[in-house]
Amino acid sequence: MQLLAAKFNQIASAIDATNAQIAALQAKLSELQEHQQQLLSVEQACQSAIAQIGTALSMLGHVDPAEIPTFKAAVNAQFGTDAIAFLESATPTPAETVEPEPIEPTAPEPTTAADTNPVIDIEATAEPDAPIKPEPAPEMDVEQALANMPLPTLRSLAKSKKVDARGTAANITRRLKAIVTPADLRAIG
């Protein structure tokens, strides 16, 4: 039994190590997804700023084209090294690779005849007086059943339903199909 306990502990240790690696990878994934979201937000802000600069240039061109160089100087001042020097670089650190820890291979355990032919004990028990549910009868197509009935049966059914039993099978069927139920047809047999 000690042999199995050691193997069990070895597998449990491997599972714990793998779970730790999964947790580390999930943390890194969350970090990268957050960074990706930040980049998307920055890209959208830049696109919006470029669109606003284009609109401002267009408006300035219509109002006072002589002020365009002043506007350009103001935009360029925003990109001066002093204006953006206070911002930290958002360059992501290179992704750390998480290598799985190698697991020592173990020699296969000797097998015995009992290992190769396992015996499984199963005791069959009956359910305690469970009621047997009858299967529902398939829904009967009344019109089809009437069409398949012989004329004498149609006439006797029509008489039992107080419907005119004279005429052809098609005429009797037409009169019966509105009032006959599947239960009536099952009663006929």
> Would you list the domain boundaries of the chain?
2-115, 142-188
Q: Output the pLDDT for position 73.
A: 86
End-to-end, the C-alpha distance of the chain in Å comes to 68
How do the pLDDT tens digits run along the chain, 189 residues long? 677 888 888 899 999 999 999 999 999 999 999 999 999 998 998 899 889 988 888 898 888 889 889 888 888 888 776 555 555 555 555 556 666 666 666 655 655 555 555 555 556 555 556 566 555 556 668 888 889 999 999 899 999 999 899 999 999 999 998 898 888 888 886
Q: Output the pLDDT for position 122.
A: 59
Give the residue among 11, 13, 12, 28 at the shortest CA–CA distance from 99. 28
Mention every residue, 6+ apart, whose C-beta is less than 8 A from residue 147.
169, 173
Q: Quickly tell me which residue has 């890209």 as its tokens.
A: 43
- Cβ atoms < 10 Å from Cβ of 33: 10
Q: How far apart are CA 185 and CA 149, in angstroms?
A: 10
